[in-house]
Structure 1
Amino acid sequence: MNFVCMNSKGILLRLLLGLLLVSGLGSPALAQSERVKDVNSNGWYMYFGDHKLNSRWGLHTELQWRRHNVISDPQQLLVRTGINYDLTPLAMFTLGYGYIETHPYGDFPAAGTFPEHRIYQQLQIRNSLSRVGLQHRYRLEQRWIRPAGAETTTYLNRARYMLKATLPLFGPSIESGEPFLAAYNEIFIGFGNNIQRNIFDQNRAYAALGFKVNDAASLELGYLNQIVQRANGTVFEHNHTLQVSLFYNLNFSEN
Structure 2
Amino acid sequence: MKKITLLIFAFISLNTFSQKNPENSLGVWYMYGGSFQLSENWKLKSLAHFRMFDLTNDLQQYLYRVGANYKINKTLSVTGGYAYLNTDATFDVDGGNADEHRLYEDFNIKHKVSKLGFDHRFRLEHRFFEHDTQHWIRYQLGLSYPLTKTVSAFAFDEVFFNFQGETYAQNWIGGGVTYKASNSIKLKLGYMNISDKNISLDRIQLGIIFNTKLNK
Asked if these proteins are the same fold (TM beyond 0.5), I'd say yes
Alpha-carbon separation, structure 2, partners of 1:107 and 1:54:
39
Q: CA deviation at 1:42?
A: 1.7
In 2, Cα distance between equivalents of 1:214 and 1:208: 19
- Rounded Cα–Cα distance in structure 2 between residues aligned with 1:66 and 1:249: 22
Evaluate the alpha carbon distance shift between residue 109 and residue 48 of structure 1 in structure 2; reply closer, same or farther with a 3 A threshold. closer
SS of the counterpart of 2:60?
strand
Matched, 1:207 2:153: no
Report the aligned-residue RMSD: 2.0
Confirm or deny that 1:62 pairs with 2:34.
no
Distance in 1 (CA, whole Å) between partners of 2:136 and 2:158 is: 13
2:73 is aligned to: 88
Equivalent of 1:180 in 152, 155, 171: 152
CA distance in 1, matches of 2:80, 2:93: 34
Name the residue aligned to 2:108: 124
> Secondary structure in 2 aligned to 1:249?
strand
What SS is found at the alignment partner of 2:165? coil
Using CA pairs below 8 Å that are at least 6 residues apart, which structure has the higher relative contact order? 1
Q: Deviations over 1:158-200 (max 9, x none)?
A: 0001111111113xxxx4xx11111100001111xxx223x21
Secondary structure, in 3 states, of the residue corresponding to 1:88? coil
* Aligned equivalent of 2:203: 241
- Alignment equivalent of 2:136, drawn from 158, 175, 181: 158
Name the aligned partner's letter for residue 166 of structure 1: S
Identity of aligned residues (%): 28
- Compared with structure 1, are the counterparts of its residues 249 and 108 closer, same or farther at alpha carbon in structure 2 (3 Å cutoff)? closer
3-state DSSP class of the match of 2:55? coil
* Deviation at residue 91 of structure 1 after TM alignment: 1.8
Long gaps (5+) in structure 2: 1-22
User: Which has a greater percent of helix?
Assistant: 1
**Using the alignment, how far apart are the partners of 2:56 and 2:208 within structure 1?**
17
**How far apart in 1 are the matches of 2:107 and 2:191?**
25
Larger Rg: 1
**Structure 1 residue 105, shift from structure 2 partner:** 4.8
Q: Do structure 1's residue 103 and structure 2's residue 65 form an aligned pair?
A: no
Identify which of 64, 73, 96 aligns with 2:58. 73
Query: Hey, what does 1:168 align to over in structure 2?
Result: 146
1:47 — aligned with what? 32
The number of residue pairs the alignment matches comes to 194
State the Cα distance separating 1:108 from its structure 2 match: 9.0
Cα offset for 1:107? 9.8
Moved over 3 A (4+): 104-111
